[in-house]
Amino acid sequence: MKTRNPLTLIAFHWFFVIFMLAPLLMVVLVSFTNKGYISMPFDGASLRWYRAILDAPDFIDAFWRSLALGAAAATIATLVAVPAGMAIAWHQFQGRDAILGLLLSPLMVPHVVLGIALLRFLTQIGGASTGWGLTLAHTVIVLPYVLRLVVAAATGFDRSVSQAAESLGASGWTVFCKIELPLIFPGVAGGWLIAFINSFDELTMSIFVASATTETLPVKMYNHIAHTIDPLLASVSTVLIVLTLVLMVALDRFYGLDKVLSGKT
């Protein structure tokens, strides 16, 4: 049997890593240009476009709005997905597959279609151009991500532990808080994190639902680049990349990314 050349594998891996990171590195390099337009390569490095972020309060406001929106949508989705996922994973009842398919359906519907449908729905109930309407729309979008990880974590849960606690006199709420939730918590935390990231990064649907007063950061960046092309978006993107790296390193350092993203205990 012919063995693979380890040098070829290493070279392929490095090529793949460089191929994936090259666009991000280009964005970072462009953000340091001293010109008033996107230029690469550039003659000299400058922090001009990072200082420009401080002079653009609308971008800062949109960042905090997206942060709050992502946290709210992910939290509400988690509150819905945890009991739903536990019921779907642990019980057999009529309509179980239909409910699971309904909750996961936003994954299969294009976000353009969802945006139009949610805009129509929110207009009918008076939620268009409102913060709570945008939060509701984002919750619908991110719910499947939490549900899938919760169902996966609950499916691998040994229910004999819960039954033993109940036989010893523990109430259902005590069993949930002290035993079930801690054991499926990696799946819950991973689902919340993925939901938050998807909500923070959501653009297509948000364009239809968001208004001038509820503009998220992706929508703000899209509207900005539609009217002008300057390195400001490169500096904003670089700041987001750095914040994401810091968050990932912190999670890996204190908890472990494999536990958060895979639902392992």
**Domain parsing of the chain, residue ranges:** 57-262
Cβ–Cβ contacts within 10 Å for residue 68, how many? 12
Q: What whole-number distance in Å separates Cα of residue 84 and Cα of residue 78?
A: 10
- Is 134 in contact with 209 (CB distance < 8 Å)? yes
C-alpha closest to that of 137 among 86, 72, 205, 201:
205
Residue-level pLDDT at 263? 54
pTM confidence score = 0.85
Maximum CA extent, the chain: 74
pLDDT tens per residue across span 113-128: 999 999 999 999 988 8
Measure the CA dihedral 237/243/247/253, to 10°. Answer: 120
Q: How many CB atoms lie within 10 A of CB 25?
A: 11
Q: Average pLDDT of each block of 10 consecutive residues along the chain (265 residues)?
A: 69 88 88 81 80 90 94 96 92 88 91 92 89 93 93 84 84 86 87 92 91 89 85 90 85 70 56
Say what the pLDDT of residue 1 is: 47
| Residue 4 confidence (pLDDT) | 61
Q: Provide CATH code, domain 57-262.
A: 1.10.3720.10
Interatomic CA distance for residues 261 and 200, integer angstroms? 17
Distance CA 162, CA 2 (A): 51
Q: Which two tokens stand for residue 9?
A: 């594998």
Distance CA(178)–CA(181), nearest Å, equals 7
